[in-house]
Amino acid sequence: MWAARYDDAVKIVRVDCHVLLDPDYQIGSTSSAQDDLLVEIHTDEGISGIGETDVNPWIARACIQAPGTHTMGQSLTDLLMGEDPLRVEELWDKLYIGSAMNGRRGAVIHALGALDIALHDLRGKALGKPCYELLGGPALHDNITPYASLQPEVSSFEAYVESLTAWALEAKRRGFRAAKLEITPAGPYAHMGFHESLDRMAEVIAAVRRAVGDEFVLMVDSQYAFPDAETCLAAIRGWTQFNLYFLETPLPCDDIAGYARLAQSQPIPIASGEWLATRWEFLEYMDRGRINVVQPDIGRVGGLTEAMRVVRLARERGLTVVPHLWKTSLSIAAAAHLAAVTPECAYIEYLPADLSESALRKELASDVPLVDGRIPLPRRPGLGVEINRDALEKFRRAAAQVAAW
């Protein structure tokens, strides 16, 4: 399966894993932007690639660095040593098959995703081309359209409504054409323990819709707030007046039948996929769950290689693709490169750095530029993002103080 490389090929010689943590993290926060697993893949030619993923970074580091003990559960790091990093898609298959007994889904795939993103970055740098040109370019547009992802202030219901309304207006002022409202008044992932009746979600949406007008695109992320499809259907009855682009993750992740019921019983498009690993989990959601909008998180799904495979499956089914992301500008850049060659991708998620509570989002990497609410097509080789080494060291020390292993 894996052809022998030429002796003069670039070789991978080292993989570094950095466990990072915002020193001011809050355990009650429903935000994974507070930590990160950053990987660097180095070659004998001095070219390096960087990647990240959205999963507990201590777990991800263990998945990458753990030694292999047999052919069915090999070390991800060892599988990469001495390989030609330009053979990115082949290396994904090698890593998947070599770690299959331990992986196939879950944390091992999420960790593999960071490695794959780093390989795409490295290949682009080695060949002097932006990643999208190597994903099937040329680009479809001169820019990418993001939506602003907004999280409320939760000291009271009034503050909840006022903060989301104010941030949506600020997003519109900055040129954004769309925003996603995180409205989770109940359920297991309510932010900072906030609790309110699910029926009051409509009040929040109505207030924001009045403020931004009918032309501004709105999405809602309920973060698995509804326990079942019937409860959700009762709560969202009447939401059609808000003209929502989608309702994201309304039900528990494993309720595939419930997703199908929602998608087939009411007109608001249902979106999901942020927690899924590999194209095979997405197939279940697309074919059994009948979702309308496919949301691969590029790190969690298994990297750009696997995200592009998900895109192709969505294309075959006539579905919309809107990548999820909630980390740093590394993830934003990866999503922008995917969107550049994906006609089904109308938007990518964008967490404005100065509207984020996470110092990691603000400081770790050079930001992806935003011009009049759009992301200009990346032109630099690879992902086009640089790491702030001083910030990396600060966040590494913060993580070590919590758990040194």
370-390 burial, b at 16+ Cβ within 10 Å, e below that, comes to: beebbbebbeebbbbbebeee
Q: pLDDT band at residue 352, thresholds of 50, 70 and 90? A: confident
The answer to whether position 6 is within a domain reads no
Distance CA 277, CA 275 (A): 7
Distance CA 189, CA 184 (A): 7
Q: pLDDT band at residue 6, thresholds of 50, 70 and 90? A: very low
Determine whether 401 is exposed, middle or buried from the number of CB atoms within 10 Å of its CB (0-12, 13-18, 19+): exposed
Crossing angle of helices 57-65 and 106-127, in 10° steps, is 70
Locate tokens 């001169």: which residue?
A: 142
How many domains is the chain partitioned into structurally?
A: 2
User: 207 and 68, same structural domain?
Assistant: no
What pLDDT digit, counting tens, does each position of 115-173 carry? Answer: 999 999 999 999 999 999 999 878 998 999 999 999 888 889 999 999 999 999 999 99
pLDDT of residue 356: 79
The answer to whether position 62 is within a domain reads yes
Q: Calculate the alpha carbon distances from 212 to 146, 173, 175, 375 in Å.
A: 17, 10, 12, 21
Q: pLDDT band at residue 2, thresholds of 50, 70 and 90? A: very low
- Position 357 pLDDT exceeds 90: no
User: 115 and 182, same structural domain?
Assistant: no
pLDDT of residue 405: 67
The answer to whether position 4 is within a domain reads no
Strands 35-43 and 12-21: antiparallel
pLDDT of residue 3: 37
Strands 375-376 and 143-144: antiparallel
pLDDT of residue 4: 37
Q: pLDDT band at residue 358, thresholds of 50, 70 and 90? A: confident
User: 125 and 233, same structural domain?
Assistant: no
The answer to whether position 381 is within a domain reads no
The answer to whether position 383 is within a domain reads no
pLDDT of residue 355: 76
Q: Which CATH number does the domain housing residue 29 bear?
A: 3.30.390.10
Locate tokens 């602003």: which residue?
A: 148
Largest CA distance in the chain: 66
The answer to whether position 384 is within a domain reads no
User: 199 and 53, same structural domain?
Assistant: no
The residue segments making up the domain with residue 68 are 12-129+389-402
pLDDT of residue 1: 34
pTM of the model: 0.95
- Position 81 pLDDT exceeds 90: yes
User: 94 and 184, same structural domain?
Assistant: no
3-class DSSP string for the chain: CCCCCCCCCCCEEEEEEEEEECCCCCCCCCCHHHEEEEEEEEECCCCEEEEEECCCHHHHHHHHHCCCCCCCCCCHHHHHCCCCCCCHHHHHHHHHHHCCCCCCCHHHHHHHHHHHHHHHHHHHHHHCCEHHHHCCCCCCCCEECEEEEECCCCCCHHHHHHHHHHHHHHHHHCCCCEEEEECCCCCCCCHHHCCCCHHHHHHHHHHHHHHHCCCCEEEEECCCCCCCHHHHHHHHCCHHHHCEEEEECCCCCCCHHHHHHHHHHCCCCEEECCCCCHHHHHHHHHHCCCCCEECCEHHHHCCHHHHHHHHHHHHHCCCEECCECCCCHHHHHHHHHHHHCCCCECCEEECCHHHCCCHHHHHCECCCCCECCEEECCCCCECCCCECHHHHHHHHHHHHHHCCC
Encoded amino acid at 39, one letter: V
Q: pLDDT band at residue 30, thresholds of 50, 70 and 90? A: confident
User: 210 and 102, same structural domain?
Assistant: no
The answer to whether position 115 is within a domain reads yes
User: 143 and 119, same structural domain?
Assistant: no
The answer to whether position 99 is within a domain reads yes
User: 347 and 214, same structural domain?
Assistant: yes
Distance CA 173, CA 21 (A): 32
pLDDT of residue 27: 87
User: 75 and 20, same structural domain?
Assistant: yes
Least confident among 120-124, 188-192, 206-210: 188-192
For residues 355 and 167, is the Cβ–Cβ distance under 8 A? yes
Average pLDDT over residues 303-318: 98
Q: What is the share, in percent, of the chain residues with pLDDT greater than 90?
A: 87
Q: Which CATH number does the domain housing residue 157 bear?
A: 3.20.20.120
- Position 5 pLDDT exceeds 50: no
For residues 42 and 15, is the Cβ–Cβ distance under 8 A? yes
pLDDT of residue 374: 95
- Position 206 pLDDT exceeds 70: yes
Spatial CB neighbours of 190, under 8 Å, sequence gap ≥ 6: 30, 184, 223, 225
What pLDDT digit, counting tens, does each position of 231-264 carry? Answer: 999 999 999 999 999 999 999 999 999 999 999 9
Q: Calculate the alpha carbon distances from 345 to 104, 141, 156, 261, 371 in Å.
A: 26, 11, 36, 25, 19
User: 216 and 164, same structural domain?
Assistant: yes
For residues 93 and 1, is the Cβ–Cβ distance under 8 A? yes
Residue 379 corresponds to which tokens in the numbers above? Answer: 């032109």
Query: What's the chain's average pLDDT?
Result: 94
User: 150 and 80, same structural domain?
Assistant: no
